[in-house]
Amino acid sequence: MAATREAVLEHWNQPSFWQRLTVADGLWALLVIAGSGYAYWFYQPYMDRYEVAIQFGATLALIGWGRYWPPARAFTLAVAALTVLALWRYGANYELRKSAFLLKYLLESQAAFMWMSTLYVLATVTYFVALFSRSEFIGKTAAALTWSATVMGMTGLLVRWRESYLLGADIGHIPVSNLYEVFVLFALITALLYLFYEDRHRTRAMGGFALLAISGAVAFLLWYAFGRQAYYIQPLIPALQSYWMKIHVPANFIGYGAFALAAMLGVAYLLRVGAEAHHPDGVLARVLPPAELLDDVMYKAIALGFAAFTIATILGALWAAEAWGGYWSWDPKETWALIVWLNYAAWLHLRLTKGWRGAPMAWWAVIGLFVTLFAFLGVNMFLSGLHSYGSL
């Protein structure tokens, strides 16, 4: 052989982490650092040292996220551009939201959430059309709609964050403080998780199902906004004035989002196996994603959800230790978080140690969504406890 040992070695050696970094990666990191630095310079007077640490962590996470999953970069840049535009248009005048065209019809948080809602519902329909028509173009459109909806929603949240400061320096807070705001967060996170799996598994066949869960959330959001006038920015009650909220709530919603996604994939799985058994030549059996894929992604989503939920519950316990005098009080919300967690622990054990697959696990994932939904919503609606600020 002509090749030298060295040449062969060089080929075999997988490039190290540092070698694999590209110029784009470097640019990305610089951009994130610059943006975060600007935000720090701007908001530093409002932050305590824990919040500075959280911002630092978030900056690293964003750099890592963009590196791990390149579409996240374009997403972040789009959100950042729109947010900066809105902030620039607002200046220091909150009342402009009612008069400035750009704000009133596009970027004011409420307007942005309406765009988000509309686009998600359109995306849901489009994904299903793509599924049945098997059209690549329509599929791409559906994905673009989902991305746009997510950009609008995320922009809305960031703008709302700023709006809360415009309302009063002492009122300013991260918009994850009530059911209305976290429902937006839920829709966004579920969409991002789905888009990630869509990208990694190179299939859009799961889209309609994932987006169905999001459309459900959107329906609730609209009812809550218009039926209950829930969209006002409210100042934080003392119990919520803590940096823990910034990490506890988002971590929780990664969990909820992942579980919701898993449940919807469970539904698709059951439809698929049902179709295969009863109408093997029917249209469903032809267009639905393969059962193995659904099963695999369902597992991945539950694993991710479980990991995030573990962190979220632990953060919640640490927060409780600081706010309520004990890391565990058997408060209904806490207890339901434990129930959700135990439920998925049991699911994971059955799958991993007993090797259970297929319909029973899919059913369980679907039921898991109801357990999760109760922890997320039912507790606030039906039970009273220390978490009562989230009540409807």
Partner 1 sequence: MNETTLCKPLRRRTLGWVLLEFFGSMNLAITLLVVVAIASVIGTVLQQNQSYPDYILKFGPFWFAAFNQIGLYDVYGTGWFIAILAFLILSTSVCLYQQAPGMLREMTRFRTSVQIDSLRGFHQQAEWWLPDHDSRTVQADITSAFRGFGYRWRIQDHGDHQVIAVMKGRYNRMGYLLTHAAVVTIGVGGLLDGNLWLKLKEWRGELAVETRDLSAREAPPISRLAPGAIPTFRGNVRLPEGSAANFVFLRVRDGFLVQELPFAIELKEFQVAYYDTGQPKSYTSEVLIHDQEYLGDQPLAATIRVNHPLVYRGYAIYQSDFGDGGSKLELKAWPLTTARAEPVAAKGEVGGVIKVGGPTAGALSLELDDFRLFNLLPEPNAQPGDRQFRNFGPSISFKLRDAVGAAREYLNYMAPVQIDGRWFYLSGVRAQPGAPFSYLHIPVDANNSPERFLRFNARLHDASGLRKLLALPAAGGDPDFQRDLNQVRLNLVELFAQGGFMAITEKAKAVVPAERLQEATALYLNLLRETLAEVFVAVLREEGVSVEQELGERENAFFNDALSALAARPAYGSPFYLQLTGFQQVEASGLQVTYSSGAVVVYAGFALLIVGVFLMFYTSFRRLWAWLAVEDGAVRLILAGTGNRRPAEFAREFAALQTALERRLGSPLSPPPSLSPADTLKEAH
Stretch that binds ligand HEM, among 16-24, 234-242, 347-355, 370-378 (CB under 6 A): 347-355
Task: Say which residues have a Cβ less than 8 Å from residue 158's Cβ, sequence separation at least 6.
Answer: 79, 83
CB 172 within 8 A of CB 164: yes
Total H helices, total E strands in the chain: 17, 0
Q: Is 345 in the site for ligand HEM (CB under 6 A)?
A: yes
Structure tokens that stand for 335 in this block:
């207890």
27 contact, one of ligand HEM, partner 1, none, CB 5-8 Å limit per kind: none
Q: How many other CB atoms are there within 10 angstroms of residue 180's CB atom?
A: 22
Query: Under rule CB under 8 A, how many of the chain's residues touch partner 1?
Result: 66
233-292: contacts with partner 1 (CB under 8 A): 234-235, 237-239, 241-242, 290, 292
The smaller minimum CB distance to partner 1, of residues 26 and 227, is found at 227
Q: Is 44 in the site for partner 1 (CB under 8 A)?
A: no
Residue whose entry in the numeric block shows the structure tokens 């890592």: 64
Among positions 332, 372, 376, 380, the unique one binding partner 1 when judged by CB under 8 A: 332
Q: Is 69 in the site for partner 1 (CB under 8 A)?
A: no
Q: Is 367 in the site for partner 1 (CB under 8 A)?
A: no
Task: Say which residues have a Cβ less than 8 Å from residue 358's Cβ, sequence separation at least 6.
Answer: 269, 273, 291, 295
Among positions 348, 359, 373, 386, the unique one binding ligand HEM when judged by CB under 6 A: 348
291-320: contacts with ligand HEM (CB under 6 A): 303, 306
DSSP string, 251-302: HHHHHHHHHHHHHHHHHHHHHHHHHHHH-TTSHHHHHSPPHHHHHHHHHHHH
The smaller minimum CB distance to partner 1, of residues 74 and 292, is found at 292
Q: How many other CB atoms are there within 10 angstroms of residue 346's CB atom?
A: 12
Q: Minimal CA–CA distance to 63: which of 30, 20, 19, 17?
A: 30
In whole angstroms, what separates CA 131 from the centre of its chain?
Answer: 24
90 contact, one of ligand HEM, partner 1, none, CB 5-8 Å limit per kind: none
Q: Which stretches of the chain bind partner 1, using CB under 8 A?
A: 1, 3, 5, 8-9, 11-14, 168, 170-171, 227-230, 232, 234-235, 237-239, 241-242, 290, 292-293, 295-296, 303-304, 306-307, 310-311, 314, 317-318, 321-328, 330, 332, 335-336, 338-339, 342-343, 345-346, 349-350, 352-355, 379, 383-385
Q: Which stretches of the chain bind ligand HEM, using CB under 6 A?
A: 303, 306, 345, 348-349, 352-353
